[in-house]
Amino acid sequence: MEFVGFAAGFVAERIWSPDQQIKKLPDGKIHLSFSASSEPELVAWLLSFGDEARLLEPYWLVEKVKGQITRMKERY
């Protein structure tokens, strides 16, 4: 996952999982990776950051999130 702006600082200051890895990038973004056991909770958490978060992998979940965002967009 990639985070920018306020979300980058917020995410970097906390422990989300015992196996998390955070990489701070020179442009102010951060990359966060960790194991998750609940797909719906992970997706809801990620979407709670709006456009300041982006899922990078796994590809199948990225596609699922894209589909959810498209469906959300169609409701407005």
> What does the chain look like in DSSP terms, one character per residue?
-EE-HHHHHHHHTS---TT-EEEE-TTS-EEEE---S-HHHHHHHHHTTGGGEE----HHHHHHHHHHHHHHHHT-
Q: What is the mean pLDDT of the chain?
A: 96
**Mind listing the pLDDT tens digit for each residue in 6-42?**
999 999 999 999 999 999 999 999 999 999 999 999 9
User: pTM for the full model?
Assistant: 0.90
Burial class of residue 44, CB neighbours in 10 A (0-12, 13-18, 19+): exposed
